[in-house]
Amino acid sequence: MRSPLSWRRRPWQAPRRTRLCRPSAGRRIEAARHYGEASRLDPLNFGYYWNSQRYSSQAWSLLVLWDRCAALVRCLLRNLSPRNLHSFLTSWETGRFVIYAVVALLLAMAALVLRPLDRAQALPFLGALALAAALLGCLWVETKDHKRRMAHIPIRVHVNGIRGKSTVTRLIAAVLRCKYTTLAKTTGSKPCVIFPTGDELEIIRRGRANIKEQIVTARRYAEDVDALVFECMAVNPEFQMISEQDIVQSTIGVITNVREDHQDLMGLTLRDIALSIGSTVPYIQPGFIRGGYLITTEVRHLAVLADVCQKRGTKLIYADSETVTDEELHRFPYMAFKDNIALALEFAKVFHIPRDQALQAMVEAKPDVGAVVVRELEFEGKKFRYAPLWAVNDRESAVVCVDTLRAAAPGHITVLLLNNRADRQLRTVQFADIASLDVKPDYVMTLGEMGEICARRLKRNGFPSDRILVMDGQPVEAVIRKLVEITPERALIIPTVNIHTRQAHELRERVGDVL
């Protein structure tokens, strides 16, 4: 017997019909996973649910292709400005759309074969097929040209990891410049190209970062070089694999460390993150000066990386940070770490560069913008020690750096500046937990965005509400005045979490003039 609450068609009601509908984001994720696609949804990558009894598999394929084409048109309409349109047209999703378009046109051609049409009806299909073939031909020519260019560079280094990639890229490039003509590219706090002379050129991006930037850099600047050092700019494991196998094609890989960050893309556990970062482990490539190496200081997940190296025929080299002495560490004008120096010194050993010469080159190399350079400042009779940790955005690195800075600044109150971004919501919550449960500074000041959310998280963890200062959107002068107001005599100011917000850039530019 049917339940009295069950729906029953009344005589005046229309019968139910099976219809194609757009599901919620959660069901779209499930659909994408069900059909073997990536879990990260983008405008050209989503799933739909419908009644399989009503629609056949052939109709399902055509509907998906048609809907993805409609999604492309919607994206184009939303990105009509030249700045956004350039970023969209050079993205990896556009390349996938070309493949989808070719598949759709091949299906249309098959329909023409099964059901012949006259010339007037078939001409648009043939023109569209010729255009798609031309686009695929351009992509093929670009791929061949890039592979030929990379094959003429004997030493290719791909630097990956969670922390310290930009600094390690600079250190390795400085070491290799002692013996080889070396071009390097960083993509961290300040993306830039480092020429063989040591001069730098900042990269001005149009839109969001894209891994195709590596291809453009190699085409423009890597003509007559012996070594190429690229920092990995991909986070998604799929894009990391593409960046390694199709773009950089490294002969030597570098993994700085494995820590908790980008867990929404790389995985929840450290083992998953290690496997994701292991996507950039090079394959053995005989015939080069040095090839098929992976150098790392990561010891906790060394077995995971060793397994990946064994499958790819790559030799694993462990760089022991204990070989770096305190005297060598104190030679650097910024807050250096033994792990980073050990990686660069291992390169010097592989390429038979004297240790003293390599160390001198690293000390003279220009530090990264995200490097921790402690400055002693004074304003209105109060002394400040300013130690920016903009590039530190994971728990382990933040705790280690703050403890080190506190030990070197006795008698200073600690003010932690949490510079948050709206597109890094998980990181905002993580650093609120780090500040309230691990670091426990005297004051917490929020900058950027999402200050109220961060403050609520701090209060929920038991951090005193009278020591939480929400300064989102305030001018730099107001931020500095507030720091002077809460400082008794000495203060240790530690900005962290993110660097790319308006307040962070203004603070970096004006802190030397105002304080």
Phi, psi of 436 (to 5 degrees): -85, -25
Question: Tokens at residue 157, please?
Answer: 């280094």
Is residue 431 situated within a structural domain?
Answer: yes
Q: Are residues 218 and 299 in the same domain?
A: yes
Q: Are residues 418 and 438 in the same domain?
A: yes
Q: Which domain holds residue 441?
A: 375-514
Place of tokens 């299909």: 125
| Higher per-residue confidence, 36 vs 193 | 193
Q: Quick one: average pLDDT of 164-190?
A: 90
Q: Give the model's pLDDT for residue 373.
A: 79
- The three-state secondary structure class of 214 is helix
Q: Are residues 331 and 192 in the same domain?
A: yes
Q: Are residues 178 and 127 in the same domain?
A: no
d(CA 280, CA 248): 9
Is residue 344 situated within a structural domain?
Answer: yes
Q: Are residues 99 and 179 in the same domain?
A: no
d(CA 245, CA 241): 6
Q: What percent of the chain has pLDDT over 90?
A: 23
| Higher per-residue confidence, 308 vs 140 | 308
Confidence of residue 285 (pLDDT cuts 50, 70, 90): low
Q: Give the model's pLDDT for residue 267.
A: 78
Place of tokens 């304080």: 515
| Higher per-residue confidence, 288 vs 227 | 227
Q: Give the model's pLDDT for residue 203.
A: 87
pLDDT at position 459 over 90 = yes
Q: Give the model's pLDDT for residue 326.
A: 86
pLDDT in tens, 101-157: 666 666 666 665 655 555 566 666 667 667 767 777 777 777 788 888 888 899 999
Q: Give the model's pLDDT for residue 105.
A: 67
Is residue 39 situated within a structural domain?
Answer: yes
Q: Are residues 433 and 466 in the same domain?
A: yes
Is residue 45 situated within a structural domain?
Answer: yes
Is residue 386 situated within a structural domain?
Answer: yes
DSSP 65-122: HHHHHHHHHHHHHHT-SHHHHHHHHTSHHHHHHHHHHHHHHHHHHHHHHHS---HHHH
pLDDT at position 240 over 70 = yes
Q: Are residues 248 and 139 in the same domain?
A: no
User: Which residues, in sequence order, are bridge partners of residue 98?
Assistant: none
Q: Are residues 326 and 401 in the same domain?
A: no
How many Cβ atoms are within 10 Å of 277's Cβ, its own excluded? 28
Is residue 19 situated within a structural domain?
Answer: no
pLDDT at position 12 over 50 = no
Q: Give the model's pLDDT for residue 76.
A: 56
d(CA 412, CA 387): 13
pLDDT at position 462 over 50 = yes
pLDDT at position 271 over 50 = yes
Q: Quick one: average pLDDT of 387-401?
A: 81
Among the candidates 297, 331, 364, a domain finishes at: 364
Greatest distance between any 2 Cα atoms in the chain: 92
Q: Quick one: average pLDDT of 411-415?
A: 91
Is residue 356 situated within a structural domain?
Answer: yes
Q: Give the model's pLDDT for residue 388.
A: 85
- What's the total number of domains in the chain? 3
| Higher per-residue confidence, 452 vs 90 | 452
Where would I find the H helices in 115-198? 119-151, 165-176
Helix axes 355-364, 338-350, angle to 10 degrees: 130
Q: Quick one: average pLDDT of 393-406?
A: 83
Confidence of residue 442 (pLDDT cuts 50, 70, 90): very high
Q: Are residues 95 and 220 in the same domain?
A: no
Among the candidates 126, 144, 162, a domain finishes at: 144
d(CA 287, CA 116): 54
Average pLDDT value for the chain? 76
Q: Give the model's pLDDT for residue 22.
A: 40
Q: Give the model's pLDDT for residue 112.
A: 59
pLDDT in tens, 92-101: 455 555 666 6
Q: Quick one: average pLDDT of 289-307?
A: 83
- Residue 76, CA distances (Å) to 127, 345, 445 in order: 22, 48, 40
| CB-based contacts of 254, cutoff 8 Å, min separation 6 | 157, 158, 159, 160, 161, 168, 172, 294, 295, 296, 343
Q: Are residues 358 and 406 in the same domain?
A: no
Measured at the alpha carbon of residue 331, what is the angle toward residues 341 and 495, in degrees to the nearest 5? 75
Q: Are residues 181 and 303 in the same domain?
A: yes
User: Which residues, in sequence order, are bridge partners of residue 417?
Assistant: 445, 495
Is residue 6 situated within a structural domain?
Answer: no
Among the candidates 123, 144, 165, a domain finishes at: 144
Q: Give the model's pLDDT for residue 113.
A: 60
Q: Quick one: average pLDDT of 314-332?
A: 89
What's the CATH number where 294 sits? 3.40.1190.10
Side chain identity, residue 465: S
How would you write 382-416 as a 3-class SS string? EEEEECCECCCCCHHHHHHHHHHHHHCCCCCEEEE
Q: How far is CA 353 from the centre of its chain?
A: 32
How many Cβ atoms are within 10 Å of 366's Cβ, its own excluded? 13
Q: Quick one: average pLDDT of 488-505?
A: 86
pLDDT at position 406 over 80 = yes
Q: Give the model's pLDDT for residue 107.
A: 65
Q: Quick one: average pLDDT of 264-284?
A: 85
Q: Give the model's pLDDT for residue 371.
A: 74
Q: Are residues 381 and 319 in the same domain?
A: no
Q: Give the model's pLDDT for residue 343.
A: 93
pLDDT in tens, 13-71: 444 433 334 444 444 444 433 333 333 333 333 232 233 333 333 344 445 455 556 66
| CB-based contacts of 220, cutoff 8 Å, min separation 6 | none
| Higher per-residue confidence, 486 vs 33 | 486
